[in-house]
A and B are shown apart, each in its own frame.
Chain A
């Protein structure tokens, strides 16, 4: 079964540093999403991406965040200057986008720890 993969599985960084989280989506699934889960809290939507542009973004997704598909396959989330409160599990999700009941396929997540 096709699956979404994410790298790295765990990233530790110093406050103020830039991090890039990477996601390899399922081939031919054209809708991309990033979610995050702060420890002990619910999974929250960050941003959706389609046709090389942002479709929707939440209020969490401020100017410190950016997304892109640099090589047409990988999908990345960049945090420009990390803060302590960015520590969370970040999930990439991927959907076909066709049909009313289509699902989103999630990657295993990247645990980001900001010190």
Chain B
């Protein structure tokens, strides 16, 4: 069965510091991986998705994620945090075919200190 694990339910960084949110996956087949962001009182917005075209995936708002098969990881990073990045971030893996449901991690809440 496929699953994702997000390490750290809460991460706090200073403005301008590196953001690193960890996600490890478990999948017996090539995984379809996604990162979503949820701002307060809003729905889930796609940040980026892994398409196997490149191991380093660039997303919106300066975020990127690196797919490492050997480590079964898909960590999300941003070189310099901004106050507007404060939100909850969810890693997800899609089950099955192109219309399969998403399996989410527990989420990591990112706080950014001035």
Contacts and interface: CB of A to CB of B under 8 A. Distances in A.
A98 interface: yes
Contacts of B42: 108
A45 B102 contact: yes
Contacts of B36: 106
B44 A98 contact: no
Contact of B106 (A42, A93, A108): A42
Interface residues of A, number: 31
Main DSSP-derived SS at the A contact region:
strand
Contacts of A35: 101-102, 104
Interface in A1-39: 4, 6, 31, 33, 35
Interface of A: 4, 6, 31, 33, 35, 41-45, 48, 50, 55-56, 58, 91, 93, 95, 97-109
Identify the 4 closest CB pairs spanning chains A and B, nearest first.
A106-B44, A45-B101, A108-B43, A43-B104
